[in-house]
Structure 1
Amino acid sequence: MLIPSRPTPVNSLLENIAKNPTPTNLLGEWILGQNWNESQWPERRMPNRKDLDKVAQHLPVMLWRSDLHLAVANSRALELAGITEDTSNPPHGVIGRDEKGIPNGILQDEAIDLVKRKIPVPTDIQITSAMADAIPTLHAIGITGLNDLRLMDGHDGSPTFRALQQLHNNSELSIRVWMCLLGDVLEDAIRIGLMTGMGDDLLRIGHVKLFADGSLGAHTAWLSESYADGGNGISLYPMEDMYQLIRRAESTGLSVAVHAIGDRAIHELVSVFTRLEKERKTSHETAKTPVPHRIEHLQILHTRDLISISELGIIGSVQPRQATDDIILIEKSIRDRGKLAYRFRDMLDRGIMLVFGSDCPVASPNPLSGIHAAITRQREDGTPEKGWYPNQRIQVEEAVRGYTVAPAKATGRWDTLGSLTLGKLADFIVLEKDIYTIDPALILTTRVDLTCIGGRIVYDGHDITP
Structure 2
Amino acid sequence: MGPGVPTVVTFDREDCTVPDSAIDPRDPQRSAPHTLLRDVRLGSGGPTVDVRSAGGRVVEVMAPGAPEDGARVLRCAGGTLLPGLVDAHVHAVQWAGARRKVSLAAADSAQAAVDLLAAELERRPVPAGELVQGYDFRDGLWPDLLHKDLLERALPGRAVTLFSSDLHTCWLSPAALDLIGRDHPTGVFVEGECMAVTAALPAEPVALRDRWVMEAMEAAAARGVTGVTDFEFADTVEDWTRRLRTAPPTVRVACSIARPLLDAAIGRGLRTGQPVPEGHGVLTVGPLKLFVDGSLNTRTALCHEPYPGADAGSGRLELEPEELVALMERAWAHGVEPAVHAIGDRAATVALDAFAEVGCPGRVEHAQLVRAEDLHRFAALGVVVGVQPAHAPDDRDVAERYWPDRLERAYRYADLLAAGARLEIGSDAPVAPLDPWDGIASAVARTDDERPPWHAEQAIPVGAALAAASEGRTGIAVGDRADLMVTALDPAEVAPQDLRELPVVATLLAGRPTHVADALR
Q: Give the structure-1-normalised TM-score.
A: 0.83
| Structure 1 residues 332-390: Cα deviation after superposition (integer angstroms, max 9, x where no partner) | 11212121111101111111100011101001222222111101211x2132x2x2111
The whole-number CA distance in structure 2 between the counterparts of 1:422 and 1:80 is: 56
SS of structure 2 residue aligned to 1:111 = helix
Asked if the contact 1:78/1:115 (under 8 Å) is kept, the reply is no
Indicate which of 471, 477, 480 corresponds to 1:421: 477
User: Which of 304, 327, 331 is residue 249 of structure 1 equivalent to?
Assistant: 331
What is the match of residue 318 of structure 2? 236
Structure 1 contact 39–328 (Cα < 8 Å) conserved:
no
**C-alpha separation in 1, matches of 2:507 and 2:182:** 48
Partner of 2:244: 168
Cα-to-partner distance string for 1:141-190 (whole Å, 9 max, x where unaligned): 1111111013xxx3xx13x4434213323451221101101111111111
Aligned to 1:35: 136
1:393-423 residue CA offsets vs partner (Å, 9 max, x unmatched): 11011000001142x7xxxxxxxxx742212
Map of 1:336-351 to 2, 5 A cutoff? 336-351=405-420
2:264 paired with 1:188: yes
- Cα distance in 2 for partners of 1:114, 1:191 equals 24
From the superposition, tell whether residues 244 and 171 of structure 1 become closer, same or farther in structure 2 (CA, over 3 Å). Answer: same
Confirm or deny: 8 A CA contact 2:505 2:519 kept in the other structure: no
Match of 1:307 among 361, 372, 376: 376
Higher relative contact order (CA 8 A, sep 6+): 2
Long gaps (5+) in structure 2: 1-96
Deviations along 1:222-265, one digit per CA (max 9) or x if unpaired, are: 11211113122111111111101101111111111010111111
Structure-2 separation of matches of 1:234 and 1:64:
20
Asked if the contact 2:171/2:189 (under 8 Å) is kept, the reply is yes
- Corresponding residue to 1:197 among 248, 259, 273: 273
CA RMSD of aligned residues (A): 2.3
Please say if residues 117 and 134 of structure 2, whose CA atoms lie closer than 8 Å, have aligned partners that are also in contact: no
Q: Give me the whole-angstrom Cα distance separating, in 1, the residues matched to 2:188 and 2:520.
A: 47
Q: Which has the higher helix share?
A: 1
* Counterpart check, 1:51 vs 2:150: yes
- Decide whether aligned partners of structure 1 residues 24 and 190 sit closer, same or farther in structure 2, where only a CA change above 3 A counts: farther
Tell whether the 8 Å contact from 1:195 to 1:254 is kept in structure 2 after alignment.
Answer: yes
SS in 1 for 2:485: strand
Indicate the SS of the match to 1:236.
Answer: coil
Q: What SS does the aligned partner of 1:144 have?
A: strand
- Percent of aligned positions that are identical: 29
Q: Give the Cα separation in 2 of the matches to 1:224 and 1:125.
A: 45
Partners of 2:240 and 2:465 lie apart in 1 by 29
One-letter code of the match for 2:189? L
2:288–2:338 CA contact under 8 A, matched in 1: yes
Write the letter of the residue equivalent to 2:133.
Answer: L
Give the letter aligned to residue 13 of structure 1.
A
- The correspondence for 1:268, drawn from 345, 350, 353, is 350
For 1:82 and 1:206, the matched residues in 2 are separated by 34
Give the structure 2 partner of residue 397 of structure 1: 463
**Distance 1:39-1:219 versus aligned 2 partners, 3 A rule:** closer
Inter-partner Cα distance in structure 2 for 1:30 and 1:227: 36
Instruction: Note if contact 2:104-2:116 (Cα within 8 Å) is conserved in structure 1.
Output: no
SS state at 1:206 partner:
strand
Deviation at 1:104, TM superposition (A): 2.6
Q: Is the 8 A contact 1:196 1:254 kept in 2?
A: yes
Q: Could you tell me whether the CA contact under 8 Å between 1:57 and 1:75 is conserved in 2? A: no
1:5 aligns with 2:103: yes
TM-score relative to the length of structure 2: 0.74
The answer on whether the counterparts of 1:124 and 1:162 sit within 8 Å (CA) in structure 2 is: no
Letter in 1 for 2:504: V
In the alignment, the residues of structure 2 paired with residue 187 and residue 453 of structure 1 have an alpha-carbon distance, to the nearest angstrom, of 33
Point out the structure with max Rg over C-alpha.
2
Whole-Å Cα distance in 2 between the matches of residues 3 and 131 of structure 1?
A: 14
Q: Quick check: 2:170–2:188 contact (8 Å CA) kept in 1?
A: yes
Say if 1:181 and 1:207, in contact at 8 Å, map to a contact too: yes
Per the alignment, residue 208 of structure 1 pairs with 288
- Structure 1 residues 114, 269: closer, same or farther in 2, change over 3 A? closer
Residues 1:394 and 1:167: Cα distance change in structure 2 (over 3 Å)? same
1:3-53 deviation line (CA, Å, top 9, x unaligned)? 32340214553244324275469xx6321221112357xx55454323212
**Partner Cα separation in structure 2 for residue 46 and residue 128 of structure 1:** 35
Which of 357, 361, 377 matches 2:430? 361
Residue 364 of structure 2 corresponds to which residue in structure 1? 295
SS in 1 for 2:225: coil
- Hey, what's the Cα distance between the residues in 1 that align with 2:164 and 2:143? 13
The unaligned stretches of length 5 or more in structure 1 are 86-102, 278-286, 409-417
Residue 63 (structure 1) aligned with residue 162 (structure 2):
yes
**Which residue of the partner structure matches residue 505 of structure 2?**
449
- In 2, Cα distance between the equivalents of 1:359 and 1:68? 10
Q: Secondary structure at the match of 1:335?
A: coil
Shift of 1:445: 2.4
Aligned partner of residue 186 in structure 2, secondary structure = strand
Q: How many residues align?
A: 412
Please state if 1:17 is matched with 2:117.
yes
Alpha-carbon separation, structure 1, partners of 2:384 and 2:366:
11
- Cα deviations by residue, 1:52-99 (Å, 9 ceiling, x for unpaired): 1222220221101000001222233334445546xxxxxxxxxxxxxx
CA distance in 1, matches of 2:338, 2:497: 36
The answer to whether the Cα contact below 8 Å between 1:62 and 1:77 also exists between their aligned partners in 2 is yes
Distance 2:197 2:386 in 1: 30
Partner amino acid, structure 1, of 2:263: E
Query: C-alpha distance in 2, partners of 1:117/1:405?
Result: 31
Q: From 446, 450, 453, give the equivalent of 1:382.
A: 450
CA distance in 1, matches of 2:349, 2:520: 53
- Describe the SS at the equivalent of 1:423: coil
Question: Secondary structure in 2 aligned to 1:320?
Answer: coil
2:229 matched to 1:128? no
Worse-matched range after superposition: 196-205 or 257-266: 196-205
Distance across 2 between alignment mates of 1:193 and 1:462: 44
Corresponding residue of 2:490? 434
